[in-house]
Amino acid sequence: MKQAAVVRQGTGARLSIGALARATGIPVETLRTWESRYGFPVPERKPSGHRLYSLASVARLRRIAEALAHGHRAGEVVAAPDEALAELLKSTAGAQPPRHTLPTGPIEIPELLAAVESFDAARLMRLLLADWARLSPIDFIDTRIGPLLREVGLAWEAGRLEVRHEHFLSERVADALRSLRLPFEERAHGPLVILATLPGEPHGLGLQMAALIACWAGCRVLLLGTEMPPHEIVALAKDMQAGAVALSLSLASRGPRANSQIRSLREKLPRRIALVVGGAGAPESRPGTLNIHDVRDLETWARGLAG
């Protein structure tokens, strides 16, 4: 833990919100959402306005995270008295947590769409972070991010929304996915996965979603971004001794050019480095490459790679 993240004050140490997130594995944005919605964790305020948290918050937050892993909702456990939280954990003692915490209510895509239509960034982020607090990463992408992006795309095609709406959403979602990935990135110790798109593919949200799932599954990630020349991907993968290269292709880049680039990439990569291709524009599987069809397949593959 960085020394600057711990402040000695009064009778004991206090943690910054970043240090609290690292100590508990709960993203900073989620901690802020819980504070505003459920009144916990309760910070002290420095004159500068920065939050400081008691070390006692760490143990309780870890118990909350354990309860969430067993399928309880944030609204049930974050504000629950210590005795009630202890009983919940006692009732699930020895049980294996479910792999996914499935949403219990309807997908609130219309409310998210309303925030996009009005360019209400603060409201959009509040809604997404509230969902993040009660869903697993894979369900967050599968039942929130994916459907929302599809709905906005359909609304644009139908003339109900404009390009500016789609760009606004893409930028906000990318910001959210980056920040949510960081706590998992700090803890990941598995093989390195390099993520990129090939020349002619400018869409990068698929990479952001894949990076979040890969980190959650325990892999380290190096996200290069969009339109990377194949020879540079190969050079970096060799230099970094990567375990895999993962490519994202949308329908816009599907075709002979992408097929040729993927074939060339596979030929130049050492056989020990896996080549994974995903997205709506991914070509048919060929020897030496693995096609990933959805985020659940990606999670299964990444957990296998991480061991």
Q: For helices 121-134 and 28-38, what crossing angle results, to 10°?
A: 90
Q: Which tokens sit at 242?
A: 């990567």
* pLDDT band, residue 93 (cuts 50/70/90): low
* pLDDT band, residue 100 (cuts 50/70/90): very low
Compute the distance between CA of residue 299 and CA of residue 179 in angstroms, rounded to an integer.
19
Domains, in order of start, for the chain? 3-91 (1.10.1660.10), 109-181 (1.10.1240.10), 188-306 (3.40.50.280)
* pLDDT band, residue 163 (cuts 50/70/90): very high
What value does the mean pLDDT take over residues 71-86? 81
pLDDT greater than 60 at residue 170: yes
Q: Which tokens sit at 259?
A: 């097929």
Compute the distance between CA of residue 294 and CA of residue 279 in angstroms, rounded to an integer.
8
* DSSP structure string for 10-51: TTEEEE-HHHHHHHHT--HHHHHHHHHHH--SPPEE-TT--E
**CA angle 118–123–128, rounded 5-degree value:** 115
Position 224 scores a pLDDT of 95
What value does the mean pLDDT take over residues 27-49? 80
pLDDT greater than 50 at residue 164: yes
Residue pair 204/227 in contact by the 8 Å Cβ criterion: no
Query: Percent of the chain, pLDDT > 70?
Result: 90
* pLDDT band, residue 6 (cuts 50/70/90): very low
The strand pairing partners of 275, in sequence order, are 245, 289
CA distances from residue 285 to 78, 247, 256, 278 in whole angstroms, order as listed: 45, 13, 14, 10
Query: Each residue of 206-239: pLDDT tens digit?
Result: 999 999 999 999 999 999 999 999 999 999 999 9
Residue pair 302/214 in contact by the 8 Å Cβ criterion: yes
Order of strands, sheet of 12-15, starting from the edge strand that comes earlier in the sequence: 6-9, 12-15, 51-54, 44-45
Residue pair 220/190 in contact by the 8 Å Cβ criterion: yes
Q: Which tokens sit at 254?
A: 């599907």
What value does the mean pLDDT take over residues 50-61? 84
Position 7 scores a pLDDT of 45
Position 4 scores a pLDDT of 40
Residue pair 20/58 in contact by the 8 Å Cβ criterion: yes
Q: Which tokens sit at 162?
A: 């404009």
Position 165 scores a pLDDT of 94
What value does the mean pLDDT take over residues 8-25? 70
pLDDT greater than 70 at residue 106: no
Tokens 């596979």 sit on residue: 266
Residue pair 214/183 in contact by the 8 Å Cβ criterion: no
What value does the mean pLDDT take over residues 94-110? 50
Q: What is the mean pLDDT of the chain?
A: 84
pLDDT greater than 70 at residue 107: no
Residue pair 22/62 in contact by the 8 Å Cβ criterion: no
| Neighbour-count burial for 63-100, b at 16+ CB within 10 Å, e otherwise | bbebbbebebbbeebbebeeeebeebbeeeeeeeeeeb
Position 291 scores a pLDDT of 92
* pLDDT band, residue 104 (cuts 50/70/90): very low
Position 88 scores a pLDDT of 78
Compute the distance between CA of residue 30 and CA of residue 252 in angstroms, rounded to an integer.
34
Position 13 scores a pLDDT of 64
**Sign of the torsion angle spanned by Cα atoms 68, 74, 78, 84:** negative
Query: Each residue of 126-160: pLDDT tens digit?
Result: 888 888 877 888 889 988 999 999 889 888 888 88
Q: Which residues contact 15 (CB under 8 A, 6 or more apart)?
A: 5, 6, 7, 23, 52, 53, 54, 55, 57, 58
